[in-house]
Structure 1
Amino acid sequence: MLGPLRVHWQGREIAAGAQRLQTLLAVLALRANQVCTPEELLDLVWHDNPPGTGLKVLPPYIYRLRRMLPLDLLDRTTDGYVLRLPDDALDLATFENSVRAATLHRERGDLDAAAAEYQRALDLYRGEPLAGLPGQYLAAQRLRLTERRDKIFSDRVDLDLDRGHHADLIAELVPAVAAKPFDERLASQLMRALSADGRQADALEVYTRTRDTLIDQLGVEPGPALRKIHQTILRNEAAPTTRDELPYAGATFVGRTSELTHLAAALGNANASAPPIVAIDGMAGVGKTALAVNTARHVGARYPDGLLFVDLQGHTPGRAPLDIKAALDHLLTGVGVPGPAIPHSFEEAQALWRTTVAGRRLLVVLDNAPDSTTVEPLLPGSPTCGVLITSRNQLTGLDVRERLHLDLLAADDAGALLAQLVGEHRIAADVAASNGLIARCGNLPLALRIAGARLRHRPAWTVAHINHRLDRLGRRLTELTSDGLGIATAFQLSYDQLAPEQQRMFRLLSLLPGRDIDQYGAAALADRTPEDAADLAESLVDANLLLQPVPDRYQFHDLIHDYAADLARTVETPDALDAARDRLLEYYLQACFHPLGQRAGINFVEIGRRPVVQLPDLDTIDKSLTWAEAEVTNLAAAVERAAAEGCHTYTWMLALGAGRFLREGGHVQQHRLVLDLALAATRQLQDREAEARVLRAIGRLVRGKQGVRPSIELYRLGLDVLPADGDPLVRAHLLSCLGQSLRALDPSQALPALEEASRIARELGDDRLLAQTLGYTGILHNNQLDFATALVAYEESLAIFRRVEPSGLMAQVLSGLAGCYVGLGRADDAIEAATMAYQLATQLRSAISLPYALGQLGRAHRLRGELAQAVDIHRRAVDAAAEGGMLPGQMLARLNLGESLVAIGDPGTARGHFEDVLQLAMADKNHQYMLEAWNGLADCAVAGGDVQKAADYLQQALAIAEEFLPPHSARLREKLAELAAAAPE
């Protein structure tokens, strides 16, 4: 409509037909979604030349219009015709939507967005609206739309004048004024643009020409608005210099797009009662000032009365914070108050500042603020002003509209910054080294700029070379120094402003061995109460010297950690550092050996009476395990720290305490590392009993990851190492684990080991060990198909567990009991036992016990004929076993899933699971799982109709059974006989 009439449909133009048909369509479109009576249409379309046939002329045109339109948009109602169009079908509607959006942006002070919307609306015009179409109605509409365009054009010009785009506007306004010589608003706009561009003579010439035209053609003088602009230019007041104090924003500002957008929106969010005040905080070197200055530049057009900048010197090397009165004087000078007119009284100067800026559109940047009390007196009260504040501290005492904590650069942005600093070619030459440099700089912009500057001025250096220099012990902060300014200097300014107790906490926290720490660990390090430690840590978070990734947990940025560690070595005595380290290790040790935290396993290490340290509330299983999950990697790091510093007793004891959490969390490599460190520590101490304990722990880990055979060697080595007069409880634990591993290879050797372990447990009165060993015995008999004997062992084990406390081993015993019930054909009992096992494993978050419980639950449902449910449960068991990472659990889960898939009629998928288990079991020489895998493959072959292959598989299984697992032989011979009977002659 905003030009010659055009109809578009799905990217192509549709011929609109003859002129009168176009006129009809235009009238209906202008009244879209409104009913037009036939009489109205006849008058509006044919007013200039009404047909002699009257209303009879209308139906043929309506018919032709319907044929032309691609959709059934034209309806006939009882009253007339209506063209039904969606809201976005007309460029008229799009035009008005953009105008409304521009108005909204303008009200909020976002002049850039408003100008863009106005231009978007104006770009919709393609010439004279509805050009060439006849009739008085359309002529009136054409005039209305043209005037609407001219109005919006002038509104956009006013915005551009406010935004300072004077030179660009002159080229637009000269032809516009020539085309409309009577338009005083256009003339005034051109005069303003020329004057602001320093062309006062040209501006006065526009006034003279416009005045002459008005007098000659209309006999009137210019209006008051145009005369006022003329007088202003004559007095040389038209182009006052807007004060812009923003500093250089830097040539390599990258990223921060979302932050800049967020700040710009906050500054443009109009509020009738208060100015938009935005505070940016962040650690030293993170780029707060650069972001503030770039944001101020971005929104500067909204504040045509000035951009003021004050460095409050809160963290400036070698300078004290700027006096508040001095800052206030600077601001008053910035808004044009002459020096002699600035009051000496602070209160009067503050009142003058707020009075002077009232109603002005002014942006104030208060950089490097030390605290809230410095900033508050400098804030304008007028809602037309805006304020950006930067500080290393979280200015919690200020009531601001928006707070932005500026985080480290994202990886991509850090890479882009480094590329700008040193050149794309050097980054591309070694991408891995470049990523390593970004990591060594901790994604901190200041560190990246210093490293980039060193590389740029040393063309012979590679990125790998500077990485090598940064990796030298204690040299990272020294290397990140350039032109007298470095990372350490930036951090020192923040440190120096701390109170002595904050400084001490800052130094001692550098001793944390892992990634983060809670208030109890901090309390142990600093020898304070947890409440005091939390308060001090939170104050360091407020100062942006400490990070808080989640509530109540604290960590350092890597570079700040280096700085704190340097301070600790310089300020603290070696004895004080050793004492703090030991307190932290003691905290970890006592928390690890909290009874509920160890409930999923059998704890046979007595830590005895220990120094008093305060522990968090670990008095429920859930709380204990939640603590362990948060600390698990820190525990491994603590073991490494203890080993590195020769704390051998802490090393092996803490390794055993943390082992359960590392194993359940799937941290296999860390688990093996800490156990190897523990083994070396026991040998340094020449503590053979402790060595046996560690060998037992390594055997349990090895059994889950490498199989039963290497674990047997470790258990036997532990029994050999244990002194003859050593703790019989340690011997019993080793025997119990040995029997558990032997059952898969040689049940005849497994049973004596388990019986001896049970005897010792009964003799010592250790119920938990006895329950464990009886559980293992039940599994042994279950695998031997002696379900009655297995049932007795399981039930006695469970009775003991119920007397003491539930554990992960209890969950495994319940799973074994469920398997026994499956073997006896008692499906309902099996489901009950397996459900209990599943619930207990879930409660204890035992990734090892969970797949066994799900496996037996699936078998029980399969026994009941609920095959689809069985397959679903066994798939969950496979996933759980993979997450737990233990090899036996993974093999058993795949065996169970394969059996259920065969039962449901999917032998093809089942075969893959059996083949995987067979490969793993053969590598481990695990006879039990080898037998079951061959048996499963035979079932797949039978389902596929290959009887001969099934027989071959069963013969393989039978050979294993006859040599190692005789009770299974009869079952396999029966299956072979059934195959032979079913085979064709």
Structure 2
Amino acid sequence: MTEALRIDLLGPLTVRFGGRALDMGPVRQQVMLAVLALRANQISTAEELLDAVWGEKPPPTGLKVIPPYIYRIRKLLPSEGLLDRTRDGYVLRVPEDCVDVQRFESAVKTAGQQSDPVRAAELYAEALALFRGEPLSGLPGSYLSVQRHRLVERRDKVLSDRIELDLANGRHAELVPELVGLVADRPLDERFASQLMLALYRSGRQAEALANYSKTRAVLVDQLGVEPGPELRAAHQTILRNEPSTPRSRDELPYSGAAFIGRTTELAEVIAALRPGSGVAPPVVTIDGMAGVGKTALAVRAGRDLARVYPDGQLFVDLHGHTPGRTPLAPERAVDHLLRSIDVPANQIPQEPEERLAFWRSQVAGKRLLIILDNAFDSASVEPLLPGAPTCGVLVTSRRQLTSLDARARMALDVLARSDASALLSQIIGAARSGQETSAALELVERCGHLPLAIRIAGSRLRHRPAWTVAHLNQRLDAQDRRLTELSADGSGVASAFAVSYEQLTADQQRMFRRLSLMPGKDTDAYGAGALTDTPAADAEEVLEALVDANLLLQPEPGRFQFHDLLRQYAAQVARAEESDQERTDAICRLLEYYLQTTQRSLQQVTQVLYADLSGRPVVPGPSVGADLAWCDAEWPNLVAAVAQAESIGRDDLAWLLANVVAPYLHRRTRLDEIDAVLTIGLAAAERLGDSEGRARLLHLRGHYGRIRCGARKGIADLRQAADLSKGASPALRAHILSSLGYATGWIDSRSEWPELLKESVRLARKVGHEPLAALTLGYLGSLYGDQWDFTNALVYYQEALATAERIGDERLQPDLLNGIAECHLKFGESTEALQAAMAAKTLAQEHRLEFSLQYTMNNLGDAYRLLGEHDLAVETHQQGLVLAVKNCTHLGENGARLHLGHSLLAAGRVDDSQEQFEIVLRRTANQQPRVAAQALEGLADCAEHNDDPGEARALLRQALVQLGQDLPVYAERLQVRLDRLTGHRGTSVGTSPRTAS
């Protein structure tokens, strides 16, 4: 409804709705509506309305008069919700285009943002057309009188701006009649008098223009006793000097290529920033970026679009700051070019550099010039050339960040977006050819790193070689050490462009640039860079920041540094040419030592893994690391790549040691795909070295993580081999291996020697003072006794393990132990105690981001809710646990989560959904994980009983007993009791079943 409402104030107050005029009542009521409309969508207090409407003569009733007026206005408006009362006052809520004052301001703002002066003048004219006479005419009150005066002044300013644009657009003769009327109405307004003089002069009516000056001067002297101001006098002098009526515009902008793609946002930002403002200094904008990124192309395109804004000309100077074989152009030489560009004769240019620069500034005063200073070396080469006139604009491009230059806006130009890079290639090679090989074309722009220069060269090679396919060029670019060679043409290319930037670096910066190409991953920090260059991190960071300033290095986030892909290849090429193999290998080894030592320091605080003794190795400084794995989280792709890099340079000792620290981190963060690759490389390295202890450590890790991910059978062979290798190793290492082996063995075969293995592990751990391992292994004992349905013993070991973990302050182990305690309480039917233990486990697991522990916590928490009768909450909790298990890629965990969920779904009466979960588990585990399969079969038997099908329940229980065989005799006995009861037709309901999910 509000879309058709119009409130017009730029003339007599009128309100229209649906094309029909509304009568808004008495004058005082109209005044109040006008006040509210002027403050549309802003809250006005009752006191403010009283003062604005009645001024110094308020009615005797005071503020009590406001509500009746509001009520009557509200009734006259087409919608009840338009005029709203809030706790703080009253507000007229209308769209922005409802009130003509707001439409006027919006049109003026849009006009001011236009780069095309013709379109800007049209928008100004549209805004001025909203005035229908004197604003708010006929409405009394001092407040509206002030607003009326403000709106008139605003209209005249916009009118003057529109006329100024029309003059610049050459509409001189058309403006004369309008300006004659304006000057007659406003004889003291020098703006319109000056514009009339210029319009007459440029229309060939010089004498009339001078006569108007004399007339205006006489009025000013007679009525005000003042001489004309500088604007009017300047127009007078222009006419007296008989300067060209139509200024000659100079265009020095170079050819910028046939293809200009994308950069829409960047172009708009540059144009907006270069628009002359009301300041006393010219707008200065800088564009910096790496070689070949398209800085000059963007600057030239912006210059073209700004031609009408700067009608006196566009000047262009290449300062040769980064031109191969050229010395950067000194400011005193650059200013010679600029002065000649504005037609200053050579004999009038001062000889002294300082005088020449001052002369330049005086010559451009009052001119509307855009000056593009391209390819600047530094701020010092630009600052002397800046004009003082605020009517000029300056656009500077450089490969360096010109941080000391006082600029209105700075743009760091990045490579093209993928879509724009593809469009650029398509424009060069032709849409048909690009469309035929769409996939290959996308791969080509990726190989070019989205760099415009590289894409143009690649596209040019394809265009001049019609026999080549895009895929063929991709193959050539993939050839070892050939990419930069392929991306060259006419004796120049990407490599030569990079070479200029490299040559301008200091020796320390060049060394850092070369060494960074040796990074195993994508990025590094100051410590890693310091390791590569054998310098302190603080010094390395200073050099890194200098490379960022030179746009030879990217800083995607604070403290992280990386190359553009092509720059990295260039850096590697330079490193091979300027450094020996030994120098590069030594640098890589220092970096790998940094990764090894810092990763181990970080992980020792948060994992139970026994790491190798690194004493005696060369110390490489690294950052202080906490117990939150933040450093590892930032570096993990580099750590994975470092293992392979160690192998590639023949440092097997570093390869297996790195694998030994990287694998536990990957497991902690559930990055499981990389674990196998890292451990495979490490094991091969340890075998080549004949290092039995190294092999034992890595086999232990592989077996341990394999057990967690895929069940005990997955890791048992590795763990047994690790145990054999560890017989002569340190007690601490053997304790670790026996702990994992005992748990895996007990899980596979309840009748095996698992208690002895685990108790021996506890003994060895306590012998060497390794209480964390003792606590972990005690937890394993509790878990396996629980699997035997011996929950009395299980609870004893869990509680001893928890007491040990609490004593040593190990909060990361406690969630698993609390989970075991919760499960024991569940088996005893102690729902409150189980809930308390599970909630404590959840808190700690979430605090320390232990997602493996959290998924099991959700199983126990859901079971506690189900035991307490909160069936829907139990289902929701178990569903969360299943999501975590799937995310963690643990088949065993996922099966367990589905079993728990199935029982809660059944308790909630969702039999079909429950049966689906049990069937999924059975399909996944039959003949592979008999214990789990037996539990799934018993769950299906529960569903059959719920559906009153005792025959099906008996058959399923018999299958469960067959799956168990001789394993878990306590559990098998419970299943047999239940089967006997069903066989004797003495059924029991699901709610009173002696079994709960394990």
Task: Give the TM-score taking structure 1 as reference length.
Answer: 0.80
Question: Aligned pair 1:777/2:777, yes or no?
Answer: no
Cα distance in 1 between the residues matched to 2:24 and 2:595: 86
Counterpart of 1:846 in structure 2 is: 850
Match in the other structure for 2:538: 531
Q: For the residues of structure 2 that align with 1:554 and 1:737, how far apart are their CA atoms?
A: 40
- 2:82–2:93 Cα contact (<8 Å) kept: no
Structure-2 separation of matches of 1:951 and 1:117: 86
1:739-789 alpha-carbon deviations (Å, 9 max, x no partner): 323444322226256346526625853533333222212111112221111
Q: Compute the displacement of 1:905 (Å).
A: 3.6
Deviation at 1:638, TM superposition (A): 0.3
State the 1:358 CA deviation. Answer: 2.9
Greater shift, 317-326 or 738-747, is seen at 738-747
Q: 1:436 aligns with which of 443, 467, 472?
A: 443
**Alpha-carbon spacing, 1:655–1:151, altered in 2? closer, same or farther (3 Å):** same
Is 1:685 equivalent to 2:689 in the alignment?
yes
Q: Distance in 1 between matches of 2:791 and 2:75?
A: 84
- Aligned counterpart in structure 1 of residue 743 of structure 2, from 735, 740, 743: 740
SS in 1 for 2:608: coil
**C-alpha displacement at 1:286, in angstroms?**
1.1
Match of 2:972 in 1: 969
AA partner of residue 109 (structure 2) = A
Contact 2:516 2:529 in 1 (8 A): yes
How far apart, in 2, do the equivalents of 1:23 and 1:688 lie? 97
- 2:891 matched to which residue of 1? 887
Q: Please say if 1:639 is aligned against 2:643.
A: yes
What is the CA distance between 1:342 and its match in structure 2? 1.7
Cα displacement string for residues 220-246 of structure 1 (whole angstroms, at most 9, x for unaligned residues): xxxx99xx9999699571122112222
Deviation readout 1:154-207 (Å, 9 max, x if unpaired): 868745545x655xx699999999xx9x999999999999998xxx89x99999
| Mean Cα deviation higher: 311-320 or 357-366 | 357-366
- What is the alpha-carbon distance in structure 1 between the residues aligned to residue 773 and residue 169 of structure 2? 85
1:981 to 973, 981, 986: 986
- State yes or no: 1:903 paired with 2:907: yes
Shift of residue 911, structure 1, vs aligned partner: 3.7
Cα shift readout 1:48-78 (whole Å, capped 9, x = no counterpart): xxxxxxxxxxxxxxxxxx9999879999xxx
Indicate whether 1:600 and 2:607 are aligned. Answer: yes
Shift of 1:386: 2.0
Structure 2 contact 173–200 (Cα < 8 Å) conserved: no
Whether 1:956 and 2:963 are equivalent positions in the alignment is no
Q: Which residue is 2:621 aligned to?
A: 614
Task: Tell me by how many angstroms 1:732 deviates.
Answer: 4.2
Matched with 2:882 is: 878
Q: 2:515 touches 2:575 (CA, 8 Å); kept in 1?
A: yes
- Identical aligned pairs, as a percentage? 43
- Secondary structure at 2:820 match in 1: helix
Separation of aligned partners in 1, 2:31 and 2:206: 43
Q: 2:919 aligns to what SS in structure 1?
A: helix
Q: Which moved more, 1:761-770 or 1:629-638?
A: 761-770
1:376 is matched with which residue? 383
Residue matched to 1:456? 463
Once residues 97 and 761 of structure 2 are traced to their aligned partners in structure 1, the CA distance between those partners, rounded to angstroms, is: 85
Instruction: Determine the C-alpha separation between the residues in 1 that align with 2:507 and 2:811.
Output: 47
SS at the partner of 2:501? helix
Residue 276 of structure 1 corresponds to 283
Q: Distance in 1 between matches of 2:682 and 2:900?
A: 37
Q: Trace 1:719-758 onto structure 2 (pairs within 5 A).
A: 719=723, 722=725, 725-727=728-730, 729-749=732-752, 751-752=754-755, 754-755=757-758, 757-758=760-761
| Residues 267-319 of structure 1, C-alpha deviations (whole Å, 9 max, x = no match) | 23724233222222111111111112222222332222322222111111110
**Structure 1's 513 and 378: CA in aligned 2 closer, same or farther, altered over 3 A?**
same
Report the counterpart of residue 227 of structure 2 in structure 1.
Answer: none
Aligned residue pair count? 900
1:630 maps to a residue whose letter is A
Q: What's the counterpart of residue 132 of structure 1?
A: none
Separation in 2, partners of 1:775, 1:72: 69
- Counterpart in the other structure of 2:475: 468
Secondary structure of 2:685's counterpart equals helix
> How far is the alpha carbon of 1:412 from its aligned partner?
1.2
Instruction: Return the match for 2:720 from 698, 716, 720.
Output: 716
Residues 361 and 387 in structure 2, CA contact (< 8 A), matched pair in contact too: yes
Checking the alignment, whether the CA contact within 8 Å between 1:204 and 1:230 is kept in structure 2 is no
- Of the three residues 295, 299, 311, the one matched with 1:292 is 299
- The residue aligned with 1:937 is 940
Partner residue of 1:552 out of 539, 556, 559: 559
Q: Alpha-carbon deviation of 1:431?
A: 2.3
Is the 1:98–1:117 Cα contact (8 Å) retained in structure 2?
A: no
The aligned runs of 1:222-237 (5 Å cut-off) are 237=244
Letter in 2 for 1:101: K
User: Does the 8 Å contact 1:757/1:773 carry over to 2?
Assistant: no
Paired residue for 1:117, among 120, 123, 141?
A: 123
Partner of 2:223: none
Alignment correspondent of 2:104: 96
Residue of structure 2 aligned with 1:700, choices 695, 699, 704: 704
Match of 1:811 among 815, 819, 828: 815
**273 and 978 in structure 1: CA distance in 2 versus 1, 3 angstrom threshold:** farther
Q: Distance between the aligned counterparts of 2:363 and 2:586, measured in 1? A: 60
1:956 is paired with a residue whose SS is helix
1:114 counterpart letter in structure 2: A
CA contact (8 A) 2:283 2:392 kept: yes
Q: Residue 492 of structure 1: CA displacement? A: 1.0
Structure 1 residues 983, 905: CA separation in 2 closer, same or farther (over 3 Å shift)? closer
2:492 aligned residue: 485
State the alpha-carbon separation in 2 of the partners of residues 89 and 525 from structure 1: 62
SS in 2 for 1:964: coil
Kindly state the Cα deviation for residue 370 of structure 1 after the two structures are TM-superposed: 0.9
Whether 1:661 and 2:665 are equivalent positions in the alignment is yes
Q: Secondary structure at the match of 1:268?
A: coil
Identify if the C-alpha distance between structure 1 residues 557 and 905 changes in structure 2 by more than 3 Å, giving closer, same or farther.
same
Displacement after TM superposition at 1:517 (Å): 0.8
Amino acid at match of 1:697: L
Residues 783 and 187 of structure 1, relative CA distance in 2, 3 Å threshold: same
Partner residue in 2 for 1:676: 680
**Displacement after TM superposition at 1:856 (Å):** 2.7
- Cα separation, 1, equivalents of 2:276 and 2:792: 78
Higher deviation after alignment, 760-769 or 513-522 = 760-769
Segments of 5+ residues of structure 2 without an aligned counterpart are 1-7, 37-73, 84-91, 134-151, 210-230, 990-998
State the match for 2:398 in structure 1: 391
- What amino acid is aligned across from residue 438 of structure 1 in structure 2? V
1:553 and 1:105, CA in 2 relative to 1: closer, same or farther beyond 3 A?
closer
For 1:621, the aligned partner's letter is: A
Q: Read off the aligned partner of 1:117 and give its amino acid letter.
A: L
Cα distance in 2, alignment partners of residues 965 and 173 from structure 1: 103
- Correspondent of 2:930 among 920, 927, 932: 927
Structure 2 CA distance for partners of 1:103 and 1:642, relative to 1, 3 Å: closer
Amino acid at match of 2:910: D
Matches within 5 A, 1:26-37: none
| 1-structure distance, mates of 2:941, 2:265 | 61
- Determine the structure 2 residue equivalent to 1:53: none
Q: Which amino acid aligns with 1:936?
A: G
1:459 offset after TM fit, Å?
A: 1.3
Aligned partner of 2:215 in structure 1 is none
Q: Does the 8 Å contact 2:653/2:686 carry over to 1?
A: yes
Q: Which residue of 2 aligns with 1:826?
A: 830
Instruction: Read off the aligned partner of 2:931 and give its amino acid letter.
Output: Q
Name the residue aligned to 2:434: 427
Say if 1:393 and 1:544, in contact at 8 Å, map to a contact too.
yes
**1:794-829 deviation line (CA, Å, top 9, x unaligned):** 233234334545264443233222222322333344
User: What displacement does 1:468 show?
Assistant: 0.6
1:543 is matched with: 550
The structure-2 alpha-carbon separation of the partners of 1:973 and 1:286, relative to structure 1 and needing over 3 Å to count, comes to: same
Cα RMSD of the aligned pairs, angstroms, is 4.6
Q: Aligned partner of 1:654: which letter? A: L
Pick from 507, 514, 534 the counterpart of residue 521 of structure 2: 514
